Every structure is written in structure tokens, then in C-alpha cells.
Amino acid sequence: MEIAFVLALLLAALVLFARETLPVDIVTLLALLALMIAGILTPQEAFAGFGSDIIIILASVFIVSGALRETGVVNWLGDALDRVSKGGEASFLVRMVASVAGLSAFMNNTTVTALLLAPVAGIARRRQWNPSKLLMPLAFGSILGGTCTLIGTSTNVAVSGYLERAGLKPIGFFELTPLGLLIVMVGTAYLAFLGRHLLPDNPPINLTEDYGLREYLSEILIKEKSPLSQQTIRDSDLGKLGFRILKVLRDGKPKTPRPDFALSAGDVLIVNGPVQSLMKVRETEGIEIRPDVEFGEKELKVDELEILEVLVTPESFIRGRRLQDLDLPSRLGIVVLAINRHGRRLREKIKSVRLETGDLLLVQGARESMDALRASPDFAIFGEQNPSPHRGKKGLLVIAFLAMGVAASSAGLLPLSAGLLGAAVATVLLRCMPMHKVYSCVEWRLLVLIAGMMAFGLAMEKTKAAEWLAEIIVSTLSPFGGIVVLAGFVLLTILLTQPMSNAAAALVVLPVALSTAEKLGLNGRSFAIAVTFAASVSLIAPFEPSSLLVYGPGKYRFADFFRVGGLLTLSTAILVIFIVPLLWPLSKPS
């Protein structure tokens, strides 16, 4: 009964992870509560993962990554890429993927993708290349680069912590580097010589057309005694009907449509809204409507007004919140005209849409507001390179602190958690990272997920659910040899990373893999390393956060990721299956 309960709970968690009806951290906490209520885990066992040094390591990595961003190190790399972009598209792609992978070995790959997306898109436009040919390789390069070191991805850190709790030696900082570098080289060669030819040749984004604004642009003339006269834009009847006022012409001169701007008879309004509402407004007295006005981005950029494409990043404070709750006109001085979510046009009732990582917002605002937006770490301006807040010495200090922390832990002078925590604290003390931004850099949901899934792995061990699953796998695959069993776990991990996060998939499979290795008399470390790599090389769908970030800007379809990433996933999986036994022999060490 305990085995059935744990496996049913795991299945329910997987379904909730896939459907995203609840945040992953809430699902994880509910699972822990269920395990405690059922008496399978004690409170001490359920919450032990939150006191693990793995959580300290990950939090420290997030802070150091934020400091690298804050000090302009990543933007410096974008500048460097721009300077060396004189070659052809293929040669630039190779340099870009190699650079991104190297940076991602020591930083969160989602952060790397978010920060370099704008510079790479800008380079593509200046060189008259299609961004779709470069943005997916950018995301894939950052994901593959994370396989090179222990801190390259949270999955590596989580598996290392689980091994240590299971009484095995934790993963060394550079233990994964030989195979990780081989995966990066194979991935780079594939993307440069084959993958880029499989990528779609999507035309660059045209702001007004790609957001569907032409269909909804209309011109409204306010007549005498109109109910709109003297109404502010914020409280106008047009706003209640779902219209967004893009431009106000008064006596032939454009006025900034701020929320507190009072409308007047004789004003001509350029509005964006649903056609159904246009039909209702047409019958209203005191206004004259001329629908389907032809306006492009130049007409929207009047006087001090500009429009920009803004990418919602994982660190953005607006992620997960609705536009109507954010009050962006008052808070940032901008108006959201439209939202593009992975190629789908969301044009009606956008105020009620909960924003997600990777959403592209078409925003309009005064030039000073746009300049503040460009400098904000909460957004990436697509097609432009954000100005670096700092350069030079502080960026070098962050790199030096990280190098010292890694060197001290590699030499056995300090535990890795202490070395990285020291680097994180030093960046804050020397003001490389403002204190008010420190906590916003940490992916708290991911920490809760990993800590909770570590406890779930313990529950699978205590109830012998892992052993029961291991027996099924052993009886099915063991006649074909240990390497086939290893391949089965690699495939299982790759499949599980589709509905759930990489770290969660690895922690679900790991206890079963270790039990299977024990039953077969094989080296459990070989299986653990294979599961670790398998969780990081699954690129067949755009569910990885780095891939979600480029989905909309690259105008990709789901099939594009399956076509390009499927072959790359197959190639890297084959490498893992055959190289892992060479570097980590399947036979138990004597």
C-alpha cells in the first residue's frame, strides 16, 4: 500500500507539473504534506533537504550569476561577439555557441540566454541574418554548456547532493568536464553544419504586423457633447470596452496619451481594440469612427513616444502577474499594446493575461521611460543591447571571487558550499551586487522543488518503491546487458524532462537507477552520472526555460524544436550511453 501510495503521489505530481495548474513549488509542498500525513516521512525527513548544503550552493550560484549580469560581464561578451561578427553566419554561430557554453558552465543557463538574446538578435539584424537561425542555437548552447561543471546546472548540484546523502562520493567540480566538453563540441558542430539548415528561415519581426495591430487600429474623432469629453484616458469609456489609446492628436499636434490626460472635443484618437467593441462604439453619439487606419511603427513613434519589444525574463517582477494588477502606466510610464506568446497573438483582454517567461510585450512610452526600461534587469529589449550598469574592475572582482571559491573547494581547502557562499558574500560586501537585488536573483521555486524532490527520493527508498521499480527494469532489460539497462534509464530521464524540470526528473529516476545498479552488481555512480547528463541534453521540446525565451522572438513552432533538437538529443544521448561506461566503468570498483 505504501508503494502504491508513493507512486500514485508521484504520478499526480508529474501530471500537475505538466499541466502547470499550480506552481511547481506548491505542488512539491503538497506532496511533502501528503507524505507526512501518511506517516511515510517524519517532519525532520521531509524538510531535511531545505537544510542541505545543496541549497546553499544553488543560492550562491544564483547570486554570483546576478553579480556577473549586474557588473556588465555578460554584456561585455555581447560586445565581444559584435566585434567578431565579421565572418559568415556559420563561423559566427560557432563562436557564439562556444562562448555561451563557456559562460553557462559557471552561470545559470536561463540567465545567460536572457542576457545574450538581445545582443545576438541585434547582430543578426545588422548583418541581415534571420534571428531564427541564431536564437535556437543560442539557447541550446547555454543548455549544453551547463553539463561541463558541477555548478553549470542545478541538476548537477542536486544529483551530487543526493549521492552524498546516499553514502556515495559527491560529484567533483570538474568531474563532468571531459564528457561535457565533448557534448558541447558535438553540439556545436551539429548546429553549425546540419542544424542551422534545419532551422526555419523566418523573416525578422515587423512590430505592427506581427502583433496584429493593423487589424485593430482605428481612428476616433471626439465631437461636441461627446460622453468622452473631459474623461481621462484611465477612466474613459473606451478603456472599459477594451480599447488602448495609442495616440492623441489635438489641433493637429500629437499629445502623449498618459493615464491622467483629459480628452476634449475635437481630439482625434488612434485606438487599438477588438472589432466587436468597434461595432458597439460606432453607434455611440458624439464620436465618429474610421476603422482600419493604416499605421506602422514609424507613425507610433511620434515626438517623445517610442515603441519597443520587451522580453519577460525569469527574473522579471511582472512574471506570473496580470497587467491589470501591475499598473505599468503609473509605475513605469509604459503602456502594453500587445502580447506575443510563442507565436500566438493575444490581442483581446490582455489586461487579464498572466505574463510568463518568454512573453514578448509590445510597449509604448515616453523616451525617458524607455531608457529606464533598457537599463532594467527585469526586462530584455529584443533587438537592442541593454547598456551595462558597470564595467571593468567590479566585473573582474566577481570573476576573481568565483575562481577563488572554486579553486579552494577543488583543492579540498573548503567545502564547495562554503567556497561559493564566500564568493557570493564578497560580491555583496564590495557592492558588485546591490543588496536590494540579492534576493530577487535567487530562484526560490527551484530551491523548493529540489529540496522537496530530495525528500521524495527518500520516501521511495523507505517504502522500497524504488526497489520495486528496479526489479521491473532488471527483469525486462538485464538479459541484454548492463549498457542496455543504462540506456533505458537515459531514455526514461529524457522523457520525464518533458513534463517536469530537469532536476526533478533526475531526482525521480536516481533512486530507481541506484537500486537497479545494486541489484545487478554494477557501479551505481555510472548510472547516476548517466542520469545527470540525460536530464540536461533533452532538447526535443521547448519546455526548458532557455528554449521558452527564444520561442517567441525566433517565431519558432513546436515542430522546429522537435526537428532540430530531436537529432541533437539523439546524438548526445548516444554519447552519454557509450562514453559514460568508459569514464565511469560499469563494474564496481574493487
d(CA 316, CA 355): 10
85 contacts: CB under 8 Å, gap ≥ 6: 92, 123, 127
Which pLDDT value is given to residue 420? Answer: 85
Q: How confident is the model at residue 387 (pLDDT cuts 50, 70, 90)?
A: very low
- Residue 290, pLDDT > 70, answer no
Contact 40, 50 (CB under 8 A): no
Q: How many residues in total does the chain contain? A: 590
Q: What is the DSSP string of 122-149?
A: HHHHHTT--GGGTHHHHHHHHHHHTTSS
Mean pLDDT of 442-466: 79
pLDDT at 257 over 50: yes
Taking the C-alpha atoms of residue 342 and residue 182, their distance in angstroms, rounded to an integer, is: 31
Same fold, 214-295 and 305-381: yes
Say whether pLDDT at 386 is over 50.
no
C-alpha cell at 4: 502504491
Compute CA distances 545 → 90, 91, 278, 444, whole Å.
25, 26, 38, 15
Q: CB neighbours (10 Å) of residue 252?
A: 6
Q: CA–CA separation, 576 vs 578, rounded Å?
A: 6
pLDDT-based confidence at 297, cuts 50/70/90? low
**DSSP code, position 295:** -
135: region left, alpha or beta (phi > 0 left; psi from -120 to 50 alpha): alpha
Closest CA to 77 of 94, 54, 102: 102
Q: Mean pLDDT check: name the lowest of 200-204, 356-360, 431-435.
A: 200-204
Gap between the Cα atoms of 66 and 342, Å rounded: 26
Q: Give yes or no for residue 37 having a pLDDT over 50.
A: yes
pLDDT at 385 over 80: no
Can you give the pLDDT at residue 310? 84
Element holding 363 (H helix, E strand): strand 360-366
Task: Give the chain's mean pLDDT.
Answer: 81
Edge-to-edge strand ranges of the sheet holding 217-222 = 253-255, 244-250, 268-272, 217-222, 287-291
Query: Sorting pLDDT into bands at 50, 70 and 90, what band is 590?
Result: low
Looking at residues 192-201, what average pLDDT do you find?
Answer: 90
Average pLDDT over residues 25-48: 90
The least confident of 20-24, 169-173, 238-242, 572-576 is 20-24
* CATH architecture of the domain with residue range 214-295: 2-Layer Sandwich (3.30)
Residue 186, C-beta contacts closer than 8 angstroms, at least 6 positions apart? 571, 572, 575
Distance CA 314, CA 70 (A): 15
Neighbour-count burial of 587, counting CB atoms closer than 10 A to its CB (0-12 exposed, 13-18 middle, 19+ buried) = exposed
SS3 of 299-356: HHCCCCEEEEEEEECCCCCCCCCEHHHHCHHHHCCEEEEEEEECCEEECCCHHHCECC
What's the whole-model pTM score?
Answer: 0.69
Which whole number is the average pLDDT over 305-333? Answer: 81
In this model, does residue 188 exceed pLDDT 80?
yes
Q: How far is CA 115 from the centre of its chain?
A: 11
The three-class DSSP label of residue 481 is coil
Q: The dihedral of CA 151, 152, 157, 160: what is its sign?
A: negative
For residue range 121-178, list pLDDT tens digits in order: 878 877 888 889 999 999 999 999 999 999 888 889 889 988 988 888 999 989 999 9
Percent pLDDT > 90 in the chain is: 21
* Domain extent listing, the chain: 2-203+398-583, 214-295, 305-381
Percent of the chain with pLDDT over 70: 86
Say how far apart CA 103 and CA 101 lie, in whole Å. Answer: 5
Output the CATH code of domain 305-381: 3.30.70.1450
Residue 303: pLDDT over 70: no
pLDDT band at residue 368 using 50, 70 and 90 as cut-offs: confident
**Rounded (5°) CA angle 382-85-189:** 95
pLDDT, one tens digit per residue, over 197-230 is: 999 887 666 666 666 665 556 788 888 888 888 8
Mean pLDDT value across residues 419-443: 83
Q: Per-residue pLDDT for 532 more than 70?
A: yes
pLDDT of 119 reads 78
**Is 96 within 8 Å of 81 (Cβ atoms)?**
yes
Nearest of 159, 190, 162 to residue 533 by alpha carbon: 159
List the single range of 158-172, 322-336, 364-378, 518-532 with lowest mean pLDDT: 364-378
The DSSP letter of residue 176 is T
Distance CA 387, CA 380 (A): 11
- Give the DSSP letter string of 417-433: HHHHHHHHHHHHHTTSS
Q: Is 390 a residue whose pLDDT tops 50?
A: no
Q: Which helix (H) or strand (E) holds 289?
A: strand 287-291
Residue 500: pLDDT band (50, 70, 90) is: low
Q: What are phi and psi of 58, to 5 degrees?
A: -65, -45
